[in-house]
Amino acid sequence: MIEKSIETLKGIGEKNLKLFQHLGISTVGDMLKFYPRFYSDRTVKPIKDLNGGQIGCIRITALAPIKTMRTRSKMTVHKLYATDGNDTITITWFNQDWLKTNFDYNCQYNVYGDVSVSLYGKEMALRVMERSDRATTTDANVPVYPLTKNLSHNMVVKTIKQCIPYVSEIPENLPSSIREKYGLCGIGYAIANIHFPKNQQSAFFARNRLAFDELFYLQLGLRLLNKTKDRLKGTVFNNSTEIATKFIQTLPYKLTNAQLNAVSDIINDTKNGKLMNRLVQGDVGCGKTVVAAIALLIAAKNNCQGAMMAPTEILAKQHYVYLKEVLAPFGVNVVLLTGSLKAKEKNEVIKSIKDGSQNIIVGTHALIQKDVDFKNLALVVTDEQHRFGVSQRSALAGKGNTPHTLVMTATPIPRTLALVIYGDLDVSVINEMPPGRKEVKTYSVDEDMRNRINNFMKKNINEGRQVYIVCPTVNENEASELKAVTKFAKTLQNTVFCDYKVDIIHGKLKATEKDEIMSRFVSGEINVLVSTTVVEVGVNVPNASVMVIENAERFGLSQLHQLRGRVGRGEWQSYCIMFCNGGEVAQNRMRVMTDTNDGFLIAEQDLKLRGPGEFFGTSQHGLPPLTVANLYEDLDLVKKAGNAVTDILNYDCYLAKPENKTIREDVLKMYRNNLTL
């Protein structure tokens, strides 16, 4: 039955079927796994226990006939004077004449709504009214589901109730030994009680089991991906330590211990024939690029090619210029391949890549075009890895014969969670900043400071510096209360910055336009760049000393930290100024930013305040997003699920045993084409 279409259920006609399908629900099984977001407490309480401003549920009997009135706006107002046997209350609702027509004065009703108190006693603005003997969405902790337009909550609840009897058909996936060891209820019990818990304890057991399953499959799939990659061999890089040492000696500064540890990790990965799949994560400005340069040099000195892919053309150009400069003493050829190259030049570059005369190739998505062939690609470096999907990274890796992979991100992630989410990658963390770098001074301000901040920006420009101003939207009609790039930039150019050059950049511009604008900002032609968050990725503008963020309450902490990292890259003191219009919660978030420049601490707080969301990009592995588990709140469950994965793989590393058949089928389905066993 669970494989049958929900069309077979009562009340599901063509219209409702399409609405459910819009939510990804086609079968009874899909319906059962459509879990609630939270529960609404609609348990019946005495009238005396309800206070003004609360939402509550009571059981009443009518004391008088329903009174109906008409307002000037032609709305119908119904009022019912009622009692719960001890106290009285007035129930009010607008329109919905059918409630009055079908009201049975001989029956008790459950009513749920917003309570207020006036001189005339307690009143309730009605949300739901049901006969007590037929109640389906009252007198219980009622599940609340994500809905789509025209699909009522009542319809979802009624449909799921029809499906509950079929939970027994859902196969138990976890062996009894695992369930007993970790105190987990059965899958059927969990699904039935996540929808309609008998009490708080049953709700806890249900959520615990379903969250455990999500975290179990997440870690199992990633662990198996690692096993698959461990079976692959990568090119052996010889003399890596000597090559790295000579390069480091040419630098005009010392590497931090964290950078040296990351280099050591790369050397150890590549010297014994193991295929490297390593993530280097570190805060903005921590020096990830020099680590990548060392890895690329090692590949080149082993007569192999290395490729570095960046998400934007201007960032690719910056990497190209840097690598060409620092690798020049070692006789390494570095070439740039981007979409903006003229046809003749592009063809020459592609030819040189194919014949092997170029050792290191830096580029954008142009690197993965069909006509680009490498002679001996042995190392792939991906910068700002969250900007690329698995398919794009795989496409570049597919240009070589199982090349080593190094991916870099400036999005700090707590290490324990990075190990979970990037389980198919080994992780190196660069958690030290190069000595001498000045900390960006950060302030949270309101509109009263507007004139003062404007004068401060002009002062910095007059001293030869440049300014970023980041807005949350592109056009003013997207959200009228928010600062928008296009309108705000025009206003600034005509008023505050009429004597300076103001320009805009946002995601709706063509790639060539964005690169051209950023190039002019880098060269100093633009004094003030008004932007959306497209500037958060990697471009190095040492002359920019002020970052102003409008409507800062609209951004996550990690994103604010990334934006702050766009300044403070030169020798001058830099500043990040956040205009915040939010209440106490928003002010507390801004306080995190003003109190610390530690990206890892900020990432912890961001995760705590906002939840994981798409922060970790679990979808990049082909997995559905977590719907029950929370990676921050369920850390203990993360560890237990990880231990359970170890338990199973220790005795059945390829999930070949009969008792693990369902787990095997589930994990292969979840990871689609990314995993083979």
Whether residue 126 contacts residue 92, with contact meaning beta carbons closer than 8 Å, is answered with yes
Which helix or strand (DSSP H or E) is residue 646 part of? helix 635-651
Total number of residues shown for the chain: 677
SS3 of 98-114: the string is HHHHCCCCCCCEEEEEE
Whether residue 305 contacts residue 360, with contact meaning beta carbons closer than 8 Å, is answered with yes
> What are the domain boundaries of the chain?
43-139, 240-272+287-409, 441-596
Q: For 353-365, what is each residue's pLDDT tens digit? A: 999 999 999 998 8
DSSP string, 331-346: T--EEEE-TTS-HHHH
* Residue for token pair 């194919």: 354
Task: Give the pLDDT score at 618.
Answer: 38
* Residue for token pair 């992630």: 413
> Which has the higher per-residue pLDDT, 410 or 661?
661
Confidence label for 620 from pLDDT (cuts 50, 70 and 90): very low
Instruction: Please give the mean pLDDT across all residues of the chain.
Output: 86
Residues 612-622, mean pLDDT to the nearest whole number: 43
Q: Which is it for strands 377-382 and 404-409: parallel, antiparallel or unpaired? A: parallel
Q: For 126-180, what is each residue's pLDDT tens digit? A: 999 999 998 878 888 888 898 888 888 889 988 999 999 999 999 999 999 999 9
Going by C-alpha positions, the residue among 301, 412, 311 that lies closest to residue 359 is 301
| 43-139 placed in CATH 2.40.50.140 | yes
Least confident residue range of 9-23, 168-182, 465-479: 465-479
3-state helix, strand, coil in the chain (%, to 5): 45, 20, 35
- Compute CA 231 distance to the chain's CA centroid, rounded to the nearest angstrom: 31
Q: For 195-245, what is each residue's pLDDT tens digit? A: 998 888 999 999 999 999 999 998 888 788 766 666 668 899 999 999 999
Phi and psi dihedrals of 75, rounded to 5?
A: -85, 150
**Under CATH, to which class is 240-272+287-409 assigned?**
alpha beta
> Which has the higher per-residue pLDDT, 385 or 344?
344
Whether residue 393 contacts residue 277, with contact meaning beta carbons closer than 8 Å, is answered with no
| CA 153/CA 160 separation, integer angstroms | 11
Residue type, 127: R
Confidence label for 463 from pLDDT (cuts 50, 70 and 90): very high
- In this prediction the pTM is 0.64
Burial of 480 (0-12, 13-18, 19+ CB in 10 A): exposed
Which helix or strand (DSSP H or E) is residue 22 part of? helix 14-22
Q: Which of 95-109, 229-243, 305-319, 656-670 has the highest mean pLDDT?
A: 95-109
Q: CATH homologous superfamily of domain 441-596?
A: P-loop containing nucleotide triphosphate hydrolases (3.40.50.300)
Task: Give the pLDDT score at 617.
Answer: 40
Helices (H), 405-544: 415-421, 450-462, 485-494, 511-523
CA R_g for the chain: 30
Task: Please work out, in degrees rounded to the nearest 5, the angle formed at the alpha carbon of residue 302 by the alpha carbons of 296 and 307.
Answer: 30
Query: 43-139 and 240-272+287-409: same fold?
Result: no
* Residue for token pair 């900043």: 433
